[in-house]
Amino acid sequence: MNQSAVVARAFARTAAELLVTGGVVVLLFAAYVVVWSDVQTAAAQVELRDDFKSQAQSADAPAPGTTATPEPLAVPPGDAMAVMRIPRLGDDWSWVVVEGVSDEQLNRGPGHFPETALPGQIGNFAVAGHRATHGEPFAHLDRMAPGDEIVVESIGVTYTYVVDTTEIVTPSDVGVLLPVPGKPDKASRKARITLVTCNPRWGSSERLIVHGHLTETVIGSEV
Amino acid sequence: MYAALWRVLPGPTAVKLVLAGALFLGVVAILFLVVFPEIEPLLPFDQITLEPEPTTSSAVG
């Protein structure tokens, strides 16, 4: 075998090894996105739920027979702020909502848009959540129909919202987050809820929006 | 490339195997803990919030 054949063989072998390595890295990244992100979110949710429970326990229990709704509390960014349950998405569908919608916060669970109303308040309680990866809380948000319930447990009080409409909007349509969605000039007299996720499920060209309004406020929570 | 790495690893075959496994796990750890979290936001699955048209670049992300 002459010299040039040896060099060609070494070159081909190195190229093959690099290509195989690249393939393995791509597969690892797929595993990271599809499996590992779910694991990390599940771990974060366990932690957040514990935090929320201890917050709820340390809060003063309302006196028996009281009818005053506890003041909604503002929590620091990244902390647990409520527990959301949506029976339409499954009887065991229960997620701790975190304060804030940065990537890091949304990787721990559905996130509350900080500039929007708190649960139960007049205005629009807006929450974004992943539709794919990171536990995909809103994977099947497209199944929501008018009349479906969204239960939000805050400290010491449980709010039940009912879905009015669902819509698909462009990613820049921030109007859906307004106190009266799509009507910047109107002052709100109602407590509303808005859920936001991406559409299509594995894409980002649009946003899937679910609007609802508050129908019931019950003092006390099951958490 | 990998043949050269194998030659560089010290000790008998069993030790080489253990060292190679440790190296592999180290590389995977760096990928999962540093590299992948960095590049993940480039994927579309992470773009789930609403942001105004890019005239104001203070995106909500």
Report the C-alpha gap between A116 and A195 in whole angstroms.
12
Domain ranges of chain B: 2-40
Q: Which of A14, A25, A95, A103 to mutate to test the interface with B (most CBs of B within 10 A)?
A: A103
Q: Is the pLDDT of residue B61 over 50?
A: no
Single pTM value for the model: 0.83
pLDDT (tens digit per residue) in A161-190: 999 999 999 988 899 999 998 888 888 889
Q: Is the pLDDT of residue A69 over 70?
A: no
Q: Which residue is listed with tokens 């995106």?
A: B59
Residues of B in contact with A174 (CB under 8 A): 50-52
Closest CA to A127 of A157, A85, A91: A85
Annotated catalytic residues of A are: 130, 198
Domains of chain A, start order: 52-219 (2.40.260.10)
- Specify which residues A80 forms β-bridges with: A98
* A19, B21, B28 from B7: Cα distances, Å: 21, 15, 22
Q: How far is B58 from chain A (nearest CA, A)?
A: 12
Reported ipTM: the value is: 0.79
| Element containing residue A137 per DSSP (H, E) | none
pLDDT (tens digit per residue) in A93-131: 999 999 999 989 999 999 999 989 999 999 999 999 999
Report the C-alpha gap between A98 and A110 in whole angstroms.
6
* A106, A111, A218, B9 from A34: Cα distances, Å: 16, 20, 38, 34
pLDDT confidence band for B58 (50 / 70 / 90): very low
pLDDT (tens digit per residue) in B20-51: 999 999 999 999 999 999 898 888 777 777 87
